[in-house]
């Protein structure tokens, strides 16, 4: 049970921002929200994670709703290399294992 809900697929155009939603309505107060992505024929790659506050790094931004029942991964300018399956994962505090769902397949068009 991944305990997160994501759209099966989304499409974007190159150089446009992409907002990937994730619903985690049953999240507990101490669960972290992680995002990983998996490019074709590769292992998953860490993107970003957060607990309560919005987070930014060189790859993306993570916007967490105030009630923490949902979050959005933001890619500021999509490139063709961003085409991948994006996984939103809840991770209990004090753990290092990951429970993956099916993720969102992001398609990026030139």
Q: How far is the CB of 15 from another protein (least distance, A)?
A: 27
Nearest-angstrom CA–CA distance, 25 and 22? 9
Q: Does 46 bind another protein (CB under 8 A)?
A: yes
- Please state, in angstroms and rounded to a whole number, the distance separating the CA atoms of residues 24 and 45: 21
By CB under 8 A, which span of 21-29, 42-50, 58-66, 67-75 interacts with another protein?
42-50
The contact pattern for another protein, residues 56-75, with x = CB under 8 A and - = no contact, is: --------------------
Rounded to whole angstroms, the Cα distance separating 76 from 20 reads 11
d(CA 18, CA 82): 10
Question: Of 78, 90, 66, 65, which Cα lies nearest the Cα of 19?
Answer: 78
Choice between 11 and 45, CB closer to another protein = 45
> Is position 99 an interface residue for another protein (rule: CB under 8 A)?
yes
Count of residues engaged in binding another protein, rule: CB under 8 A: 24
101 is an interface residue for another protein by CB under 8 A? yes
Beta bridge partners of 107: 11
């Amino acid at each position: 049970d991944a305990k997160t809900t994501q759209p099966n697929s989304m499409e974007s155009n190159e150089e446009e921002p992409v907002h990937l939603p994730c619903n985690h309505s049953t999240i507990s107060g101490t669960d972290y929200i992680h995002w990983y992505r998996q490019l074709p024929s590769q292992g998953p790659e860490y993107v970003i994670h957060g607990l309560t506050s919005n987070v930014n790094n060189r790859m993306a931004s993570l916007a967490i709703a105030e009630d923490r029942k949902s979050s959005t991964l933001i890619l500021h300018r999509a490139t063709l290399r961003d085409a991948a399956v994006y996984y939103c994962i809840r991770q209990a505090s004090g753990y290092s294992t990951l429970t993956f769902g099916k993720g969102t397949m992001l398609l990026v068009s030139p």
